[in-house]
Amino acid sequence: MIVRIENVTKEYPLGEQTVCALRNVNLNVEDGVFLAIAGPSGSGKSTLLNLMGCIDSPTRGRVIINGKDVSDKDPDALASLRARSIGFIFQTFNLFPVLSAEENVEYPLLQFKELTASQRRQRVQHYLGVVGLSEFARHRPNQLSGGQRQRVAIARALVVHPKIILADEPTANLDHKTGGGILRLMRKINRRTGATFVFSTHDRRVIDMADRRVDLEDGEIVRLGVRRGKEWAYAMERVNDSDADNEEDDA
Protein backbone atom coordinates (compact mmCIF):
# COMPACT_ATOMS: atom_id res chain seq x y z
CA MET A 1 0.00 0.00 0.00
CA ILE A 2 1.65 3.21 -1.08
CA VAL A 3 -0.89 5.63 0.44
CA ARG A 4 -3.42 5.15 3.22
CA ILE A 5 -5.91 7.80 4.12
CA GLU A 6 -7.56 7.08 7.47
CA ASN A 7 -10.64 8.95 8.66
CA VAL A 8 -9.35 12.15 7.17
CA THR A 9 -11.33 15.33 7.57
CA LYS A 10 -10.13 18.60 6.13
CA GLU A 11 -11.74 21.84 7.18
CA TYR A 12 -10.67 25.34 6.33
CA PRO A 13 -11.97 28.74 7.28
CA LEU A 14 -13.81 30.78 4.68
CA GLY A 15 -14.61 34.19 6.13
CA GLU A 16 -16.44 33.49 9.36
CA GLN A 17 -17.54 30.03 8.28
CA THR A 18 -15.71 26.73 8.31
CA VAL A 19 -15.89 24.74 5.11
CA CYS A 20 -15.48 21.00 5.24
CA ALA A 21 -13.59 19.97 2.11
CA LEU A 22 -13.22 16.30 3.10
CA ARG A 23 -15.26 14.36 5.62
CA ASN A 24 -14.07 11.09 7.20
CA VAL A 25 -12.39 9.87 4.06
CA ASN A 26 -10.76 6.45 4.05
CA LEU A 27 -8.78 5.32 1.04
CA ASN A 28 -6.02 2.88 0.22
CA VAL A 29 -3.87 3.42 -2.86
CA GLU A 30 -2.04 0.32 -3.97
CA ASP A 31 1.40 0.37 -5.46
CA GLY A 32 1.46 0.69 -9.24
CA VAL A 33 -2.19 1.65 -9.79
CA PHE A 34 -3.47 4.22 -12.27
CA LEU A 35 -6.09 5.87 -10.09
CA ALA A 36 -8.55 8.53 -11.12
CA ILE A 37 -10.22 10.72 -8.51
CA ALA A 38 -13.35 12.02 -10.12
CA GLY A 39 -16.10 14.33 -8.99
CA PRO A 40 -17.66 17.67 -9.63
CA SER A 41 -15.92 20.96 -8.84
CA GLY A 42 -15.69 21.53 -5.09
CA SER A 43 -16.07 17.84 -4.30
CA GLY A 44 -12.65 17.69 -2.64
CA LYS A 45 -10.56 16.05 -5.40
CA SER A 46 -7.71 18.55 -5.25
CA THR A 47 -7.80 18.61 -1.44
CA LEU A 48 -7.42 14.84 -1.36
CA LEU A 49 -4.58 15.03 -3.87
CA ASN A 50 -2.87 17.78 -1.82
CA LEU A 51 -3.06 15.64 1.31
CA MET A 52 -1.53 12.69 -0.52
CA GLY A 53 1.15 15.04 -1.82
CA CYS A 54 1.97 16.28 1.72
CA ILE A 55 1.47 19.88 0.66
CA ASP A 56 -1.54 20.15 2.95
CA SER A 57 -2.31 18.57 6.29
CA PRO A 58 -5.57 17.05 7.52
CA THR A 59 -7.64 18.67 10.24
CA ARG A 60 -8.32 15.20 11.61
CA GLY A 61 -7.24 11.70 10.64
CA ARG A 62 -4.02 10.23 9.33
CA VAL A 63 -2.21 10.21 6.02
CA ILE A 64 0.27 7.37 5.66
CA ILE A 65 2.74 7.48 2.78
CA ASN A 66 4.81 4.41 2.12
CA GLY A 67 4.07 3.16 5.64
CA LYS A 68 4.94 6.41 7.43
CA ASP A 69 2.38 8.62 9.12
CA VAL A 70 3.01 12.12 7.77
CA SER A 71 0.22 13.90 9.64
CA ASP A 72 2.46 15.27 12.37
CA LYS A 73 5.69 15.76 10.45
CA ASP A 74 7.25 19.21 10.40
CA PRO A 75 7.41 21.22 7.13
CA ASP A 76 11.08 20.39 6.51
CA ALA A 77 10.49 16.65 6.91
CA LEU A 78 7.51 16.89 4.56
CA ALA A 79 9.65 18.78 2.03
CA SER A 80 12.25 15.99 2.15
CA LEU A 81 9.52 13.39 1.74
CA ARG A 82 8.10 15.25 -1.27
CA ALA A 83 11.56 15.60 -2.81
CA ARG A 84 12.23 11.86 -2.77
CA SER A 85 8.85 10.14 -2.81
CA ILE A 86 6.31 12.26 -4.67
CA GLY A 87 6.17 13.57 -8.21
CA PHE A 88 3.78 16.33 -9.17
CA ILE A 89 2.18 17.08 -12.52
CA PHE A 90 0.10 20.24 -12.61
CA GLN A 91 -2.73 21.44 -14.79
CA THR A 92 -0.73 24.59 -15.58
CA PHE A 93 2.56 22.66 -16.10
CA ASN A 94 4.36 24.90 -13.57
CA LEU A 95 7.72 24.81 -15.30
CA PHE A 96 10.35 27.38 -14.40
CA PRO A 97 10.31 29.79 -17.34
CA VAL A 98 13.97 30.77 -17.03
CA LEU A 99 15.21 27.18 -17.19
CA SER A 100 15.49 25.00 -20.28
CA ALA A 101 13.59 21.72 -20.54
CA GLU A 102 16.58 19.73 -19.30
CA GLU A 103 17.24 22.19 -16.47
CA ASN A 104 13.59 21.95 -15.42
CA VAL A 105 13.85 18.17 -15.32
CA GLU A 106 17.14 18.38 -13.46
CA TYR A 107 15.83 20.89 -10.90
CA PRO A 108 14.38 18.39 -8.33
CA LEU A 109 17.54 16.29 -8.61
CA LEU A 110 19.64 19.18 -7.28
CA GLN A 111 18.44 18.19 -3.82
CA PHE A 112 19.95 14.72 -4.26
CA LYS A 113 23.43 15.46 -3.03
CA GLU A 114 24.47 11.84 -3.55
CA LEU A 115 24.17 12.24 -7.34
CA THR A 116 27.06 13.64 -9.34
CA ALA A 117 26.44 16.15 -12.11
CA SER A 118 27.01 13.50 -14.77
CA GLN A 119 24.62 11.09 -13.05
CA ARG A 120 22.02 13.84 -12.98
CA ARG A 121 22.56 14.59 -16.65
CA GLN A 122 22.23 10.91 -17.53
CA ARG A 123 18.94 10.63 -15.68
CA VAL A 124 17.64 13.83 -17.24
CA GLN A 125 18.52 12.62 -20.76
CA HIS A 126 16.89 9.29 -20.05
CA TYR A 127 13.59 10.79 -18.94
CA LEU A 128 13.54 13.39 -21.67
CA GLY A 129 13.91 10.40 -24.00
CA VAL A 130 11.05 8.60 -22.22
CA VAL A 131 8.73 11.55 -22.89
CA GLY A 132 10.11 11.98 -26.43
CA LEU A 133 11.72 15.39 -25.96
CA SER A 134 15.43 14.66 -26.28
CA GLU A 135 15.79 17.08 -29.15
CA PHE A 136 14.04 19.85 -27.22
CA ALA A 137 16.34 19.59 -24.20
CA ARG A 138 17.71 23.11 -24.61
CA HIS A 139 14.37 24.75 -25.31
CA ARG A 140 12.83 27.05 -22.75
CA PRO A 141 9.16 26.48 -21.81
CA ASN A 142 8.00 29.42 -23.94
CA GLN A 143 9.57 27.69 -26.96
CA LEU A 144 7.53 24.54 -26.36
CA SER A 145 3.89 23.69 -27.10
CA GLY A 146 1.45 22.94 -24.28
CA GLY A 147 1.79 19.21 -24.82
CA GLN A 148 5.58 19.42 -24.84
CA ARG A 149 5.52 21.43 -21.64
CA GLN A 150 3.39 18.81 -19.97
CA ARG A 151 5.82 16.13 -21.18
CA VAL A 152 8.66 18.07 -19.56
CA ALA A 153 6.59 18.21 -16.35
CA ILE A 154 6.08 14.43 -16.55
CA ALA A 155 9.82 13.90 -16.99
CA ARG A 156 10.44 16.19 -14.03
CA ALA A 157 8.01 14.16 -11.93
CA LEU A 158 9.57 10.85 -12.97
CA VAL A 159 13.22 11.82 -12.67
CA VAL A 160 13.35 11.48 -8.87
CA HIS A 161 11.97 7.92 -9.06
CA PRO A 162 9.00 8.79 -6.88
CA LYS A 163 6.80 6.30 -5.09
CA ILE A 164 3.75 8.07 -6.37
CA ILE A 165 2.98 10.64 -9.07
CA LEU A 166 0.11 13.00 -8.41
CA ALA A 167 -1.44 14.70 -11.40
CA ASP A 168 -3.95 17.48 -10.85
CA GLU A 169 -6.13 17.83 -13.96
CA PRO A 170 -3.12 17.22 -16.24
CA THR A 171 -5.11 17.48 -19.47
CA ALA A 172 -7.29 20.45 -18.59
CA ASN A 173 -5.06 22.97 -20.37
CA LEU A 174 -4.43 20.83 -23.42
CA ASP A 175 -6.44 20.29 -26.58
CA HIS A 176 -8.21 17.00 -27.01
CA LYS A 177 -5.60 15.33 -29.18
CA THR A 178 -2.61 16.50 -27.11
CA GLY A 179 -4.37 15.59 -23.87
CA GLY A 180 -5.01 12.11 -25.23
CA GLY A 181 -1.33 11.73 -26.15
CA ILE A 182 -0.25 12.83 -22.68
CA LEU A 183 -2.60 10.34 -21.03
CA ARG A 184 -1.40 7.50 -23.23
CA LEU A 185 2.18 8.43 -22.38
CA MET A 186 1.48 8.35 -18.64
CA ARG A 187 -0.38 5.07 -18.96
CA LYS A 188 2.56 3.62 -20.89
CA ILE A 189 4.98 4.76 -18.20
CA ASN A 190 2.69 3.32 -15.53
CA ARG A 191 2.63 -0.06 -17.27
CA ARG A 192 6.31 -0.08 -18.13
CA THR A 193 7.75 1.19 -14.83
CA GLY A 194 5.03 0.32 -12.37
CA ALA A 195 4.95 3.93 -11.14
CA THR A 196 1.79 4.78 -9.22
CA PHE A 197 -0.29 7.56 -10.78
CA VAL A 198 -3.11 9.35 -9.02
CA PHE A 199 -5.16 11.87 -11.00
CA SER A 200 -7.76 14.35 -10.02
CA THR A 201 -9.80 14.84 -13.12
CA HIS A 202 -12.95 15.81 -14.92
CA ASP A 203 -11.67 14.16 -18.07
CA ARG A 204 -13.71 11.15 -19.16
CA ARG A 205 -10.66 9.70 -20.92
CA VAL A 206 -8.66 9.57 -17.71
CA ILE A 207 -11.40 7.53 -16.08
CA ASP A 208 -11.52 5.29 -19.13
CA MET A 209 -7.81 4.59 -18.86
CA ALA A 210 -7.73 4.23 -15.06
CA ASP A 211 -7.71 0.85 -13.33
CA ARG A 212 -9.08 2.33 -10.12
CA ARG A 213 -11.53 5.16 -9.61
CA VAL A 214 -12.66 7.14 -6.61
CA ASP A 215 -15.74 9.30 -6.94
CA LEU A 216 -16.05 12.17 -4.53
CA GLU A 217 -19.03 14.30 -3.71
CA ASP A 218 -19.24 17.04 -1.13
CA GLY A 219 -16.03 15.85 0.47
CA GLU A 220 -17.08 12.24 0.78
CA ILE A 221 -16.21 9.16 -1.22
CA VAL A 222 -19.36 7.95 -2.88
CA ARG A 223 -17.85 5.22 -5.07
CA LEU A 224 -14.69 3.14 -5.16
CA GLY A 225 -14.30 1.32 -8.42
CA VAL A 226 -11.92 -1.35 -9.69
CA ARG A 227 -11.72 -2.02 -13.39
CA ARG A 228 -12.75 -5.48 -14.54
CA GLY A 229 -12.08 -5.49 -18.26
CA LYS A 230 -14.19 -2.70 -19.71
CA GLU A 231 -16.52 -2.55 -16.70
CA TRP A 232 -16.16 -1.13 -13.18
CA ALA A 233 -16.66 -3.27 -10.15
CA TYR A 234 -17.56 -1.05 -7.24
CA ALA A 235 -16.15 -1.99 -3.87
CA MET A 236 -18.35 0.65 -2.29
CA GLU A 237 -21.25 2.62 -3.68
CA ARG A 238 -23.49 5.10 -2.04
CA VAL A 239 -26.56 5.80 -4.09
CA ASN A 240 -28.14 9.22 -3.94
CA ASP A 241 -29.52 11.83 -6.31
CA SER A 242 -26.14 13.13 -7.41
CA ASP A 243 -24.91 9.60 -8.15
CA ALA A 244 -27.82 9.18 -10.45
CA ASP A 245 -26.86 12.44 -12.14
CA ASN A 246 -23.29 11.19 -12.52
CA GLU A 247 -24.48 8.01 -14.12
CA GLU A 248 -26.44 10.10 -16.60
CA ASP A 249 -23.33 12.14 -17.29
CA ASP A 250 -21.25 9.00 -17.76
CA ALA A 251 -23.80 7.71 -20.22
**Measured from the CB of residue 229, what is the shortest distance to another protein in angstroms?**
36
92 forms part of the interface with another protein (CB under 8 A): yes
- Which range binds another protein by CB under 8 A, 29-37, 92-100, 126-134, 241-249? 92-100
Q: Which of 4, 45, 82, 123 binds another protein (CB under 8 A)?
A: 82
Residue 229, φ and ψ in degrees, nearest 5: 65, -120
DSSP-H helix ranges across the chain? 45-52, 75-85, 101-106, 117-130, 146-158, 176-193, 204-209, 241-250
91 forms part of the interface with another protein (CB under 8 A): yes
**Measured from the CB of residue 4, what is the shortest distance to another protein in angstroms?**
21
Spatial distance between the Cα atoms of 207 and 186, rounded to a whole number of angstroms: 13
- Best CA proximity match to 185, nearest among 214, 139, 147, 211: 147
Residue 144: half-sphere exposure toward Cβ, Cα within 13 Å: 30
**Measured from the CB of residue 87, what is the shortest distance to another protein in angstroms?**
9
Q: Which of 13, 15, 67, 75 binds another protein (CB under 8 A)?
A: 75
137 forms part of the interface with another protein (CB under 8 A): no
Spatial distance between the Cα atoms of 65 and 60, rounded to a whole number of angstroms: 16
- Which range binds another protein by CB under 8 A, 73-81, 143-151, 182-190, 228-236? 73-81
For another protein (CB under 8 A), the number of binding residues is: 26
- Which range binds another protein by CB under 8 A, 63-71, 108-116, 176-184, 210-218? 108-116
| 201-220 residues near another protein, rule: CB under 8 A | none
DSSP, residue by residue, 61-122: EEEEETTEE-TT--HHHHHHHHHHHEEEE-TT----TTS-HHHHHHGGGGG-TTS-HHHHHH
- Residues forming contacts to another protein in the complex (CB under 8 A) are 50, 53, 55-56, 75-76, 79-80, 82-84, 88, 90-92, 94, 96-99, 107-108, 110-111, 156, 160
